[in-house]
Amino acid sequence: MAALGRQTGDLVESPRAQVRVLGHDVLALAAFTLFVFTVAAGRLWCGFACPQTVWTLCYVWIERKIEGGRYQRIKLDQAPWSPVKLGKKGFKYLCWAVLALSISITSVGYFTPIAVLLREIAELSVGNRESFAILSLAGASFLFSGVLREQVCLHMCPYARFQSVMFDRDTLIVSYDARRGEPRGGRSRRVDPGARGLGACVDCGLCVRACPTGIDIREGLQYECITCAACVDVCNGVMKTMGYAPDLIRFSSENQDEGVPKPKTHFRLWSYGAVLLAMLGVLTFDLATRVPLGLDIIRDRGRLYRESWDGSVENTYTLRIMNMEQGSRRYAIRAEGEVPLQFSGDREVEIAGGSQVSIPISLMTAPGVQAASNSDVYFTVESVSDPVHTITETSRFLRPAEAGPDSGASAHE
């Protein structure tokens, strides 16, 4: 029992507990990374890194290649249905479907070995779960990134709603220099805007047309702005054509627009950064101390125990052992309980990297052993080579409630 106490004192977390802890760490780290990124650089994530934005650009690129530029697409949409329109629309949707399937298959490939998944797709033997995941993800990508596009950012994404909580006057935003651009008005390149009392803005409206969410950045910062800088690029093109200085629309901050010098210390940014570093340290520690070995114990649900004629009691289990390393490993299996138990089953097993096996195990008490009807039993799986990884899980050993000294003695006789 002393040895048992030492062993149980070294119990490690179960694989599910480890996954939950790591999951919580990753979510907290992602949240504070978003906070730091937003305070420092605004919504650059939305404009340049968000999967919705990136995939939408892919769908739009396909649409532009097939249907043409903006005015050509408007003309095509307003035209009556014809073989040409039907062909362009059908080919566009076919290309969208191929893109959506490639995105969904790649996503599912993170959870199912991609080589196996591609072979099953080629052989039309994909399982129900994989088929549902592929089709649902492809449908979501087709609908959200291809059809709805910016409507997802405007009405479904919560980030646009609570971003103002993280913004301050030194946060990087896309802004319009009203002092330089106003009053706006059309003119030719030969006209001196100063002589006409005009600002640099020629009121071409290209910044509004280029904006994926359809806002007018000249009206000030709006929550719909995803900081994609499409208006910056198109405006700089117009300024170059007109012979004006660039950056009428540019990346800046509210304080920069008002001529306020940038502070030497940014308390909110440094505070979020400190918390982010602390969370990164916690995640690093959890990853370093993680045991790349999993063990699940499944009791025989069909029969809680088996009582033999000589008074011995048997319980059966299935040990599901998971090797979370890349290479193959050999593991030793042992079991200890509060009462002496006879072990029946494989004592060692070799498991390939990244896979799991199920091992049937039987534990039996000696005839006439007196014990409680419900006691703990400890299963330990340990690698037999360096580095040594050990995991111990607890289960229950059951026996008849009426089993006592009298019945045990009579059975022994």
As a whole number, the mean pLDDT across the chain is 85
Residue 141, pLDDT above cutoff 70: yes
Q: Which domains are present in the chain?
A: 43-164 (no CATH), 173-252 (no CATH), 292-412 (2.60.40.10)
Distance CA(228)–CA(174), nearest Å, equals 9
Q: When comparing pLDDT for 182 and 221, which is higher?
A: 182
pLDDT of 116 reads: 85
Give the bridge partners for 357, in sequence order. Answer: 321
Kindly tell me if the per-residue pLDDT of 340 is higher than 90.
Answer: no
pLDDT at 106 over 50: yes
> According to the model, what pLDDT value does residue 304 have?
85
Q: How many CB atoms lie within 10 A of CB 149?
A: 20
In this structure, are strands 355-365 and 341-345 parallel, antiparallel, or unpaired? antiparallel
Question: Would you call 376 helix, strand, or coil by DSSP?
Answer: strand
Q: Check pLDDT > 50 for residue 317.
A: yes
For the CA atoms of 245, 249, 254, 256, the dihedral, rounded to the nearest 10 degrees, stands at -20
Give per-residue pLDDT as tens, 4-33: 333 333 334 455 555 565 667 778 888 788
Report pLDDT for 46: 87
> What's the pLDDT score for residue 22?
64
- Cβ count within 10 A of residue 403: 20
Transcribe 25-53 into DSSP letters: HHHHHHHHHHHHHHHHHTTHIIIII-HHH
Question: Nearest 5 degrees, angle CA 108-CA 113-CA 115?
Answer: 105
**Cα(85)–Cα(62) distance, integer angstroms:** 16
32-43 per-position pLDDT tens digit: 888 888 888 888
Helix (H) or strand (E) holding 9, with range, is: helix 2-9
